[in-house]
Chains A and B, each alone.
Chain A
Amino acid sequence: MPDNAGYMFAAYIAAAVIFGGYVIALIMRARTMTRRGDAIDTVTRP
């Protein structure tokens, strides 16, 4: 049997990085948007 486990681990790590990166990016985008919304609330509140 060929010794190629390195490719398998590289694929699993790459998938974790892509999924994890997307989740973190989406959380950051939502935080930025929430801050923008809060800023408008602060300005418009009497």
Chain B
Amino acid sequence: MPIFDWLLAVAVVALAAVMARAIWFTPPEALQGEAQKIFYLHVPSAVVGLYLACPLVAIGGAMYLWLRDDRLDRLAESSAEVALVFLSIVLVTGPLWGKPIWGTWWTWDARLTSTLFLWFILLGYTVLRGAIEDRQQRARYSAVLGILASLLVPFIHLSVRLFRTMHPQPIVLAPEKPKLSAEMGLTLSLAFIAFTLLFIALLRGRLKYAALRDRVEALEAGDA
């Protein structure tokens, strides 16, 4: 049974089209140059990873603790793994943007450090799941860890306001100037759509894999 279907193909085509638009058909920012176009990767990855995937980890975990339904555990587990992928993109593209603009690959400011902590906690979450054999115990422990990890998201969101950081303040939805130009805004909007499609496709694939694995493990347990 293939775990990926037409949706992944649609997402990849959409993503390729948006990236081509960003690289070749969207004007660069005057002061930052071409490196500013990392924005169209970095920001949508962060938004999808932090505000879509991480809440699903917490919701799936909390609902599992309440209803004890394995499907909810699989939702939390799959969301955590896909969140890890998106946050990896954020943590790789951030330094590649920071070096030419800030003059350094990394700085231990609140936004960057808390995002790195979240990445490590999600990594720990996946390691924890692999280390516990009992399915119910694994689901229970990881649900608690997933909820705690997601509590970092509001802190990461507010970190640029609570602390003095090198990371810029939000500019897209900020009421004050500077605003994005119309072309940049359209490219960013299309990038949000493409990254959301990719997230849904990856999450569906990961959920199918988790269901397949649980079926095989149940067969093996019955076979032993």
**A12-B23, A15-B45, A23-B4 known; A43 and B223 CB under 8 Å?**
yes
| B33 adjacent to chain A (CB < 8 Å) | yes
Are A7's CB and B209's CB within 8 A?
Answer: no
Are B35's CB and A5's CB within 8 A?
Answer: yes
Interface residues of A, Cβ cutoff 8 Å to B:
1-5, 7-8, 10-12, 14-15, 18-19, 22-23, 26-27, 29-30, 33-34, 36-37, 40-41, 43-44
Are B93's CB and A37's CB within 8 A?
Answer: no
Q: How near does chain B come to A25, taking the closest CB pair, in angstroms?
A: 10
Give the distance in Å from the alpha carbon of A1 to the alpha carbon of B32 in the complex: 7
Closest to A16 in B: B19
Are B85's CB and A27's CB within 8 A?
Answer: no
Q: Is the interface of B mostly helix, strand, loop or mixed?
A: helix
Interface residues of B, Cβ cutoff 8 Å to A:
1-4, 8, 19, 23, 28, 30-35, 37-38, 41-42, 45, 85, 88-89, 92-93, 96-97, 99-100, 198, 202, 205-206, 208-209, 212-213, 215-216, 219-220, 223
Q: For residue B209, which residues in chain A have a CB less than 8 angstroms away from its CB?
A: 26, 29-30, 33
Q: How near does chain B come to A29, taking the closest CB pair, in angstroms?
A: 6
Contacts between the two chains (Cβ within 8 Å), count: 99
Q: How near does chain A come to B94, taking the closest CB pair, in angstroms?
A: 9
Give the distance in Å from the alpha carbon of A19 to the alpha carbon of B85 in the complex: 7
Are A40's CB and B216's CB within 8 A?
Answer: yes
Are A33's CB and B4's CB within 8 A?
Answer: no
Q: How near does chain A come to B41, taking the closest CB pair, in angstroms?
A: 5
Closest to B94 in A: A11
Are A44's CB and B33's CB within 8 A?
Answer: no
Give the distance in Å from the alpha carbon of A33 to the alpha carbon of B34 in the complex: 44
Closest to A44 in B: B223
Q: How near does chain B come to A34, taking the closest CB pair, in angstroms?
A: 7
Give the distance in Å from the alpha carbon of A1 to the alpha carbon of B219 in the complex: 62
Residue with the highest number of chain B CB atoms closer than 10 Å, among A7, A14, A41: A7
Are B3's CB and A30's CB within 8 A?
Answer: yes
Q: How near does chain A come to B133, taking the closest CB pair, in angstroms?
A: 16
Contact among A29, A30, A40 with B219 in the assembled complex (CB-CB below 8 Å): A40
Q: For residue A1, which residues in chain B have a CB less than 8 angstroms away from its CB?
A: 28, 30-31, 33
